[in-house]
Chains A and B, each alone.
Chain A
């Protein structure tokens, strides 16, 4: 761990050094210049990259995830607020809320249902200032992703484990009746009828009579079973947590799980003093496909091919926003990667169709590159890239290198 930490600190130092070196040798505009950030050189291959808050650069703590009616009610007043200085971010995955819930059985049915089950809608708005002019911005986005093989989905894998995994089958264990046995006679302590009856049949009948040794009549309808005693519940939850951890670890260690991610976002911007009508801040469509080779239920494969396509339309040149005529640009970028490795380190080759003119941030991506990703900590990666990229002035290619640290809550592919 200490070695990894030293490596991370060293990498950070190298990153700064490389940035300064590149500034001296190649470019009158240093790469540490605000206009060119390290992230501009990396293609984000994580799923769900286009979100409303992401488009506006709004940080995560301002985003409210709506899970149920209660959180929706709390969020709605802020949407109706006329305070344009308020930064708001909302995110909802309808199938995973109590508002429009999806059945687990439907989710497991097909790839299409898993895409629908992961569909996330997001909205964000907030003020910004560009070259001394104040603006209001808002954006919405829709994104989803799903694994091609349902065994690669942790939700489904965990559900299946109750049947297929020996330890997970033991979450519920044999329990003896609550009372001492009396041979030939039913237990005298058979539970009395609970206060709550369920179902129309039950509600139409009186509460079930307490079962006694002499009971001969059946109780029609169903009743709500009693909740387990606290100590029993704790034991069951503990076994369930251990099973879930085991299955999650097993699934997520397969770093090259095949999956599809789709996202679309649209953002608008308007000068605060209303001297100009609302303008587009760009529409972005992104699709990402990962195909892993040689995966099995128990073992991760060694190779993965990924393809990412991102198309942005009507993206304004920011310093023309306050001008009478805003200048818009369209751009697209296709990146393919071949990766070899495991869940802690990978080497890869990357190819992109970065254009030879009209250099924008996205088109400073490497045209061809070789790289290494090494996991420093859980979710934190060191990335090294060496390859050909366009010069900032668009006149020619140059060899560039990049050492950076990225953080991803999911496996970085």
Chain B
């Protein structure tokens, strides 16, 4: 997946449901034969229905690793939408409460290309 953004861009996470939903995005630049981390964005306030984080990066192509942790809390319902400059990127909805345990959880890990103009 590719997302094109300007140098000043915004990533947002909208969430709802009775689960704890946190996410982080690590932005990596390929240099020589290694990955160099150039930015990280933590969406770590599960009590906010929406978090928006801004970053500034020089023009270039980056690889972003998206992780999202969903854990049963008040109940197991969850719904999240992750967007890059308001463009819907990753989203899911459901019920993580699938067993009698009180801390059923689900972990997502995916990546996308960020092209900064």
CB <8 Å contact, B32 and A183: yes
CB <8 Å contact, A177 and B65: yes
Q: Given A98-B77, A103-B18, A183 and B30 touching (CB < 8 A)?
A: yes
- Distance in angstroms from A145 CB to nearest chain B CB is 15
Contacts of B2 in A (CB 8 A): 186, 211, 215-219
CB <8 Å contact, A222 and B82: yes
Which of A101, A103, A117, A191 is B1 in contact with, Cβ under 8 Å? A191
Q: How far is the CA of A407 from the CA of B9 in the complex (A)?
A: 56
- Is residue B11 contacting chain A, with contact meaning CB distance below 8 A? no
- Distance in angstroms from B36 CB to nearest chain A CB is 8
Q: How many contacting A-B pairs (Cβ < 8 A)? A: 202
- Distance in angstroms from B38 CB to nearest chain A CB is 11
Closest A residue to B30 by beta carbon equals: A181
Closest A residue to B31 by beta carbon equals: A183
Which of A163, A174, A244 is B40 in contact with, Cβ under 8 Å? A174
- Distance in angstroms from B99 CB to nearest chain A CB is 11
Q: How far is the CA of A185 from the CA of B33 in the complex (A)?
A: 12
- Distance in angstroms from B81 CB to nearest chain A CB is 6
Which of A162, A178, A225 is B22 in contact with, Cβ under 8 Å? A162
- Distance in angstroms from B78 CB to nearest chain A CB is 9
CB <8 Å contact, B88 and A225: no
Q: How far is the CA of A14 from the CA of B89 in the complex (A)?
A: 68
Q: How far is the CA of A221 from the CA of B20 in the complex (A)?
A: 24
Closest B residue to A97 by beta carbon equals: B75
Give residues of chain A (97-124) contacting chain B, Cβ–Cβ below 8 Å.
97-98, 101-105, 107-108, 117
Closest B residue to A156 by beta carbon equals: B47
Most buried by A among B1, B48, B82, B88: B1
Contacts of A206 in B (CB 8 A): none
CB <8 Å contact, B88 and A172: no
CB <8 Å contact, A224 and B91: yes
Which of B46, B67, B87 is A175 in contact with, Cβ under 8 Å? B67
Q: Given A162-B44, A176-B65, A224-B91, A233 and B107 touching (CB < 8 A)?
A: yes
CB <8 Å contact, A240 and B103: yes
Contacts of B61 in A (CB 8 A): 184-186
Give residues of chain B (36-51) contacting chain A, Cβ–Cβ below 8 Å.
37, 40, 42, 44-49
Instruction: List 30 A-B residue pairs with CB atoms under 8 Å apart, sorted by A's residue number.
Output: A95-B75, A96-B74, A96-B75, A102-B75, A104-B74, A105-B48, A105-B49, A108-B47, A155-B73, A159-B46, A162-B22, A169-B44, A176-B28, A181-B31, A181-B34, A184-B30, A184-B61, A186-B63, A187-B63, A199-B91, A211-B112, A220-B87, A222-B89, A222-B90, A223-B91, A224-B92, A225-B109, A227-B107, A228-B107, A244-B103
Residues of B within 8 A of A (CB): 1-4, 15-20, 22-24, 26, 28, 30-35, 37, 40, 42, 44-49, 61, 63, 65-69, 71, 73-77, 81-83, 87-93, 95, 97, 103, 105-113, 115
Given contacts A105-B47, A177-B63, A177-B65, 11 further A-B contacts (CB under 8 A): A95-B18, A101-B77, A102-B74, A105-B16, A107-B74, A155-B73, A176-B26, A185-B30, A185-B61, A222-B91, A223-B90
Residues of A within 8 A of B (CB): 67-68, 95-98, 101-105, 107-108, 117, 155-156, 158-160, 162-163, 169, 171-172, 174-178, 180-187, 190-191, 193, 198-199, 201-202, 208, 211, 215-229, 232-233, 236-237, 240-241, 244
9 nearest A-B pairs in the assembled complex, by CB-CB distance? A181-B30, A222-B88, A225-B110, A228-B109, A222-B91, A225-B108, A228-B107, A225-B90, A198-B91
